[in-house]
Amino acid sequence: MKQTMGRIFRVLTGLLISSLLLAQPWLPVKAAAADVGIVFLHGKEATPRAKIYTILLEQLQRAGFRVKTPALSWSRQRIYDADVDASMVEIEREVTALRGEGASLVVLVGHSMGANAALRYVATHPLDGIVALAPGHSPEFLAKQLAGDTARARQMIALGKGDDKAEFRDINVGHDFTVNTTAAIYLSWLDPEGSAVMPRNAALVKTPLPALMVVGSKDPVTRSQDYIFGKLPAHVKSRFVTLDVDHKDVPDAAAKLVIDWLNGL
């Protein structure tokens, strides 16, 4: 009888403690990997299948995260077939799909221009977190080199030819190349005061969200912590990390760091 009463007492005590814990909204709740959805945003002229993303994407999927890997408007096959706003709609579609599949948290993980796009997205859409790996594509720093092309695009738009295609220059981590796109699309990505300027978008984020930014000390496009990260609203889980690698090596070098950070959300 005493043993039976003792077991009942322990069960009731356990239930009471569990109820009290569940009633405390201040206790941190850690999401399981399957509850976290990730939209991976590749870099300029790349694709999600590029070798520089192999380790990162394999480890994210092995860890159990839900991962979407769309080929976006700055990919090698598409560049540039959609402007900034239309590209945000594409990203929003992936975010919505992840939530529909059961993801309670959705995070954008972007490399280079993908990080740029991720910053634009969180400046205009609510989200649960962002990972910016070697953020790249800085129209304000390319302004002098591309001044002739952006001026020509503006002139075409002023003449009502914004939807006409032409050849324009672009630069990707020191690599010059030519794109065939409309004047309006080109200017949406390369306007030094436009929608693709990362510090501007970081400053537009009003609601604090977890942000992990990883840069390479050997990356020629790396700038100070204040350039972008310092303009985001502070969050207790935000981190800025510098690794001793080049631009293209940041994603794979940061794979474990990214997974550990995501597991801490």
| Torsional class of 206: left (φ above 0), alpha (ψ -120 to 50), beta (otherwise) | alpha
For residue 22, is it within any domain? Answer: no
- Looking at the domain assignment, is residue 247 inside a domain? yes
Q: What is the mean pLDDT of residues 211-228?
A: 97
Q: 40 by DSSP, 3-state: which?
A: strand
Mean pLDDT for all residues in the chain: 91
Mean per-residue pLDDT, 174-199: 97
Give the model confidence (pLDDT) of 74-102 as tens digits: 999 999 999 999 999 999 999 999 999 99
Query: How confident is the model over 117-126, as a mean pLDDT?
Result: 98
pLDDT interval class at 236 (50, 70, 90): very high
Q: Are residues 93 and 130 in the same domain?
A: yes
Closest CA to 248 of 182, 179, 173, 188: 173
Residue 146 sits at the vertex; the CA angle it makes with 204 and 205, to the nearest 5 degrees, is: 5
As a whole number, mean pLDDT of residues 212-230 equals 97
122 and 95 in a common domain: yes
The answer to whether 122 touches 154, Cβ cutoff 8 Å, is no
Whether residue 209 contacts residue 128, with contact meaning beta carbons closer than 8 Å, is answered with: yes
Last residue of a domain, one of 178, 193, 208: 193
Q: What is the pLDDT of residue 181?
A: 98
Among 11-20, 33-42, 184-193, where is mean pLDDT lowest?
11-20
Rounded CA gap, 261 and 265, in Å?
A: 7
pLDDT of residue 33: 81
pTM equals 0.87
Q: How far is it, in rounded angstroms, from Cα 172 to Cα 176?
A: 7
Average pLDDT (116-130) is 98
Closest CA to 221 of 186, 250, 200, 192: 250
pLDDT of residue 14: 46
State whether 230 and 156 are in the same domain: no
Statement to judge: residues 177 and 57 lie in one domain: no
Residue 252's pLDDT is what?
95
Report how many domains make up the chain: 2
Q: Which domain holds residue 158?
A: 139-193
Q: Which of 73, 76, 69, 64 is nearest to 40 (CA)?
A: 69
How much is the pLDDT for 32?
74
Report the C-alpha gap between 138 and 122 in whole angstroms: 17
Per-residue confidence (pLDDT) for residue 31, from 0 to 100: 57
pLDDT over threshold 90, residue 124: yes
